[in-house]
Structure 1
Amino acid sequence: MNGWLWIVAALVLGGLEILLPGWIFLGIALAVGVMGLAILSGLWGAGLPLTLVATAALSGVIWLLLRRIFGTSRGDVRIWTRDINDHK
């Protein structure tokens, strides 16, 4: 596998995140970029199926970290658990 292809794919996914914001492509782009750097540096040498699984898992972890760091956006739906008229 060529690590440069993974880096280019990360840049394309980063561009998609700019065009279609929503945190979806950002986690994937960062995971693909990290995997590309790992392949280029020689830290990762597994085959394509295992690489795709590891990238998917890394993408989920990065997405959760980004969500934890930056929180929710103002456009997210808020679920109210208490009514303002309840007097307890």
Structure 2
Amino acid sequence: MTGLIYLWWAWMAAAAVLLVLEMVVPGFLFLGFAIGAAAVGLWLVAGYAVGWHWLVLVFALVSLAAWIALRQMVGIRKGQVKTWDRDINED
């Protein structure tokens, strides 16, 4: 279990890769996962040695919370979708 504490760099590398993917693919698709991976990396840097299943659980919960927060901050806003009332070919 103490060997898992040395995997902080792998979680931070995964966060960096996910951030690069976020720049390539628009729409805040990978940003929540990047935040979750960075949180687990920082958790391990702080010295908390837990089992891998707890690390995956923390990753999942932080990623979900980050995704929900991102949707609230930059999600679809009211009135953003355009509804067409008439067809341009009807003139």
Shorter-chain TM-score tier: 0.7 to 0.9
Which one of 8, 12, 25 corresponds to residue 20 of structure 1? 25
Aligned residues: 77
- Give % identity: 32
TM-score under structure 2 normalisation?
Answer: 0.73
Report the AA paired with residue 73 of structure 2.
I
Q: Any unmatched runs of 5+ in structure 2?
A: 86-91
Q: RMSD in angstroms over aligned alpha carbons?
A: 2.3
Larger radius of gyration: 2
Q: Which has a greater percent of helix?
A: 2
TM-score under structure 1 normalisation?
Answer: 0.75
Report the AA paired with residue 29 of structure 1.
A
| Cα distance in structure 2, aligned partners of 1:50 and 1:38 | 11
Runs of 4 or more consecutive aligned structure 1 residues displaced over 4 Å after TM superposition: none
Q: Any unmatched runs of 5+ in structure 1?
A: none
| Cα distance in structure 2, aligned partners of 1:66 and 1:48 | 27
